[in-house]
Structure 1
Amino acid sequence: MSEPLDPIAHGGALSEAIARHGGEPGEWLDLSTGINPFTLPMPEIPINAWRRLPEAGDARRVCELAMRFYGGALTPLAVPGTQSVIQLLPLLRPQAERVAIVSPTYGEYEQSFRRAGIPVEHVATLDAAAPNRAPIVVLANPNNPDGRETVRDDVFGFVRSHRDRLVIVDEAFADLRQDLSMVGAAGVEPNLVVMRSFGKFFGLAGLRLGFVFASPAILGLLADRLGPWAVSGPALAVAEHAFDRKDLVSELRDRIDKAHGQTRSALNKASVRIAGDTPLFFCCDVGNGAQVREALAAHHVLVRSFDHSPEKIRIGLVPDELSAVRLRETLRLVHPRLQ
């Protein structure tokens, strides 16, 4: 059995920042996650969604809506957040002698495979994974935290050329980059698994909901390990509402696009170098990420730094113009003296 691993620090740890730097939650500008700052308007949830266990038909109906919303060819599996599936990925190839992870990326993939005793090899690109013949390959597209993108033709070509290898694609940040998505090939290509996060785009991370697109055999194994009623009735009700309201989705896209522009403008005016981005966050090169993070936190602005990329920070979207001004001026205050 493998040794216990230290937990990974993630964004969104506002209570820890408050314990260190003081203030009340409402006084902080929390830009430490890649979650949409605008929450989809919530529906009125039927009382039975709270009172009763969800019926199989409820989950099936929402999964069919998800298939159409994301552009899948086969019905996905609804899961209680894609993190729950990351924990189970080693079970898909339990005898694998190693896994190749396109890195740096979301750290829980490495943790999951190492915990299962499967060695991890870091590769810089998907093409670089081809020669090492690892039975499992993991790609986040767009990537977190640097926003790196791998064009769909390259992903598709790799999947088709390496049918003996399981290719796992995390599309948590692909809702606004559908041109990159491999959802339509998942399941049709039996060696491809695609994961989609519900909470990041819809601003509902606390709902804990995601969808996995893969072959029926893989989905069956995951469903068996997750057990019955893995996704709550209220989560299914919210998802059904979200997938059915094209008007609200369009409005959400417009708000994200505006916030993205406001955030980019604030960073440019503060002379911060943008190293990469997705529609939901920016990756910035600031020289010493941990030091800049602490300096910003002293002014109650929370961002994310990384051990694997010590020169960088990740900054989520500001919710409004006033927050953009606050970000710009705080960066101007702390950034020049830290270079």
Structure 2
Amino acid sequence: MSDPFSVFRHHGGNLSAAVAATGRPRAEWLDLSTGINPRPYPVPPIPANAWTRLPEAAEDAALVAAARAAYGVAQGATVVPAPGTQALIQWLPLLRPRGRVGIVGPTYGEHATAWARAGHAVEDLSRPPAPDEAGAPDVVVVVNPNNPDGRRHDPDALLALAEGQARRGGWLVVDEAFADVAPDVSLCGRAGGPGLVILRSPGKFYGLAGLRLGFAVAGEDVAAPLAANLGPWAVAGPALAVGAAALADLAWRDATRAWLAERRRALDGVLAAAGLTIVGGTDLFRLIEAPDAAARFERLARAGILARPFAYAPRWLRLGLPADDAGLARLAEAMA
């Protein structure tokens, strides 16, 4: 293979490919290629019957109640749990007739893939349209805060856009996968009206990506058909138990926000000392820009540190948070 690192150009977290490409054992890698919290929520004991029987309505209701409280969901909105946000991203395009979909990017690529696969005409947008902008797409997708650059969109402007979309029979889909570290941008507290669909997930902030749990927050006009298509028992019993416990632990949430902010400041110090320019990010990841970003990625990989490059932006490199000072020191040494 002429480029042994080509398998990393499209997604983070591919440690198995890193092992195969380099021969370095998995245990020796420092994986900074995702925006997942490196200090995850401590998973509580899972009741044995969560594995041996179908989930019950009371358990689903407990998860939804915990999500409503954790995300500050408005009383008039409905929370639909799903086996991961990816499932929701794939189902939403099937609930509308084919039309035009504008995705504000560059951003998480699965949104464009899912809408295009369902037969919609997908357009790249550099910004959200104005609420009554002529020729606006039928559906607008915004990630807030955005991945990978951390760009934030004003919630009042997004709410006005959602109202404009509703007037023309359209939707605004807001993916808030990273909003746990930026709760001020969330629209969950004002959800429930027509035209607005919000996606939330505990995978990044709670460090539980493998739980495969996500939520749609919307009015009944979207929530009802979405839940019907997901079907009964959409979320597995263990995920119901762990998700409800994690989301109900508001003390852990608040302490973790402070810890992530402190670790992000420490990472910023390492990057600045290496002479790198930070061009965006959140408290879960940083995006740097450098003319030699590709060479830096390969140098880090040869040192057993996996970052996230971007085929469409070769000057970019995204780095997640090292979990401890030892990881920071290892990164600083590799950057030197």
Q: What TM-score, normalized by structure 1, do the two folds share?
A: 0.91
Aligned counterpart, 2:332: 328
Identity percentage over the alignment? 44
- Amino acid in the other structure paired with 2:183: Q
Shift of 1:86: 0.8
- Could you tell me how far apart the structure 2 residues matched to 1:25 and 1:151 are? 41
User: Structure 2 vs 1, CA of residues 110 and 289 (structure 1 numbering), >3 Å: closer, same or farther?
Assistant: farther
Shift of 1:325: 1.5
Q: What SS does the corresponding residue of 1:87 show, helix, strand or coil?
A: helix
- Could you tell me how far apart the structure 1 residues matched to 2:18 and 2:29 are? 9
94, 98, 111: which one pairs with 1:95? 98
- Report whether the alignment pairs 1:115 with 2:135: no
State whether residues 73 and 189 of structure 2, in contact with CA within 8 Å, keep that contact through their aligned partners in structure 1: yes
- Could you tell me how far apart the structure 2 residues matched to 1:180 and 1:278 are? 12
Q: Structure 1, residues 224-274: CA drift from partner, whole Å, max 9, x if none?
A: 222221111111111121122222223322321221111111111111110
1:275-294 map, 5 Å: 275-294=279-298
- Amino acid in the other structure paired with 1:261: R
Q: Structure 1, residues 138-157: CA drift from partner, whole Å, max 9, x if none?
A: 00000001111111111112
Q: Which runs of 5 or more residues in structure 2 are unaligned?
A: 1-7
- Amino acid in the other structure paired with 1:53: L
Shift of 1:134: 0.7
State whether residues 282 and 316 of structure 1, in contact with CA within 8 Å, keep that contact through their aligned partners in structure 2: yes
- Could you tell me how far apart the structure 2 residues matched to 1:239 and 1:10 are? 25
Shift of 1:288: 4.3
Aligned counterpart, 1:63: 64
Displacement over 6 Å in runs of 4+: none
Q: Considering only aligned residues, what root-mean-square deviation do their CA atoms show, in Å?
A: 1.7
Shift of 1:127: 3.3
- Amino acid in the other structure paired with 1:210: G
Aligned counterpart, 1:272: 276
Q: What SS does the corresponding residue of 2:228 show, helix, strand or coil?
A: helix
Aligned counterpart, 1:86: 89
Shift of 1:59: 0.7
Q: What SS does the corresponding residue of 2:181 show, helix, strand or coil?
A: coil
Shift of 1:63: 0.4
Q: Which runs of 5 or more residues in structure 1 are unaligned?
A: 1-6, 333-339
Aligned counterpart, 1:302: 306
- Could you tell me how far apart the structure 1 residues matched to 2:64 and 2:330 are? 41
Shift of 1:181: 0.5
Which stretch of the first structure deviates more once superposed, 239-248 or 114-123?
Answer: 239-248
- Report whether the alignment pairs 1:146 with 2:146: no
State whether residues 129 and 136 of structure 2, in contact with CA within 8 Å, keep that contact through their aligned partners in structure 1: no
Q: Structure 1, residues 107-146: CA drift from partner, whole Å, max 9, x if none?
A: 0011111111211111111137944321000000000011
- Could you tell me how far apart the structure 2 residues matched to 1:157 and 1:108 are? 25
Q: Structure 1, residues 17-76: CA drift from partner, whole Å, max 9, x if none?
A: 111112122211100000000111111111111111100221122102211110111240
1:33-72 map, 5 Å: 33-72=34-73
Aligned counterpart, 1:169: 174
Q: What SS does the corresponding residue of 1:175 show, helix, strand or coil?
A: helix
- Could you tell me how far apart the structure 2 residues matched to 1:142 and 1:148 are? 6
Aligned counterpart, 2:199: 195
State whether residues 8 and 108 of structure 1, in contact with CA within 8 Å, keep that contact through their aligned partners in structure 2: no
- Could you tell me how far apart the structure 1 residues matched to 2:55 and 2:256 are? 28
User: Structure 2 vs 1, CA of residues 8 and 24 (structure 1 numbering), >3 Å: closer, same or farther?
Assistant: closer
- Could you tell me how far apart the structure 1 residues matched to 2:315 and 2:19 are? 24
Aligned counterpart, 2:32: 31
Aligned counterpart, 1:155: 158
- Amino acid in the other structure paired with 2:109: G
